[in-house]
Amino acid sequence: MTPAMTTEFRAAGTDISERRRSGVSKGPLMDIVPASDISGMNWGADGTLRIGAYTTIAAIAADRSIAAAYPGIAASAQGLATPQIRHLATLGGNIAQRSRCWYFRNPHIACLKKGGTDCPARNGNHLYHVAFDLGPCVAPHPSTMAAALLAYDATIITYTRSGLSIPDVLGDGSNGTADNLLQPGEMIRGIELPKPLDGERAFYKRAISRAYAEWPLVEICARAVIKDGAFQFIRLTAGGIAPVPLRLKAAEGAVQGKAANALNIEVAAKLAMSGAKPLPMTGYKLDLLEGVVRDVLEKLAAS
């Protein structure tokens, strides 16, 4: 008996259209109408922000209020994909997009995410895959916005649930059969961002293999409050290195409450690699990770 095909949601279709052309995705579609409850940005009287899932990445990247309050969110939106894609792609679609692994994208190759029994990338070509091996699938999660939202403790709202953290929606990397933990038919309505901290600053940086239109090899979103020359608050999140966006807690701990100087920053950069388990072809990502973390921390300290 053939299993029933799951209906997929389509907003801008920047991902699903390509998957359907290649034959990776089939079955019925449900087009999303840009209704008021899933579009635009709404600021709360308490300084919080709600962004509808249908809001485009370009709108987030260009919004001056977001850049002032949540500069890491704005910079992450500005850095991903191309201007053409950013003007179509939606926030919800970016969070819920499917794996970019070339084995997953090949309709003639079975993999865990398509009902297969193993991950062909693990013993195949995994040059752009994970450096933190957390589960059976070794494809990195492709969402830049999810990594940035993790840095800001954002919560996700669906039509059936609210208050979901990024790990609640994307998991911990141990489930290799799915790109997210959304239930069948569950759609993201928007995200909520807490009020920014007083005096906080942020930077975003990615290392890529070419100048434009590329998914990052490593990307970091960093937030900090620096007072009296010391890190009073620090948050470092990374994308491109694991099946899910990661908080670099060991690196955070190395500078939390300590002087924002070169010595402490160097220690934090090296501790960013804590817990890494690179694949035979992905060890280079750890060098990139160390360098990008060092760079963003130096920029935070100097800003």
pLDDT digits (tens, 9 = 90+) for 229-281: 999 999 999 999 999 999 999 999 999 999 999 999 999 999 999 999 999 99
pLDDT(147) > 90: yes
Q: Which pairs count as long-range contacts for 40-45, CB under 8 Å and 24+ apart, including other chains? A: 41/65, 41/66
% of residues, the chain, pLDDT over 70: 97
pLDDT at 212: 57
Query: Per the domain annotation, does 2 fall within a domain?
Result: no
- Is the overall model pTM greater than 0.85, yes or no? yes
Residue 209 structure tokens: 């293999």
CATH of the domain at 255: 3.30.390.50
Structural domain span for residue 103: 8-193
pLDDT at 4: 47
Greatest CA separation found in the chain?
67
Instruction: Indicate the helix (H) or strand (E) that contains 268.
Output: helix 262-271
Q: How far is CA 204 from CA 99, 161, 191, in A?
A: 22, 30, 20
197-242 pLDDT, tens digit per residue, is 999 999 999 999 876 557 899 999 999 999 999 999 999 999 999 9
Query: Per the domain annotation, does 281 fall within a domain?
Result: yes
CATH of the domain at 100: 3.30.465.10
pLDDT(6) > 80: no
103-116 pLDDT, tens digit per residue, is 999 999 999 999 99
Query: Per the domain annotation, does 265 fall within a domain?
Result: yes
- The sign of the dihedral angle between the CA atoms of 116, 122, 124, 130 is positive
Query: Per the domain annotation, does 1 fall within a domain?
Result: no
Total number of domains constituting the chain: 2
| CA distance linking residue 275 with residue 224, whole number of Å | 23
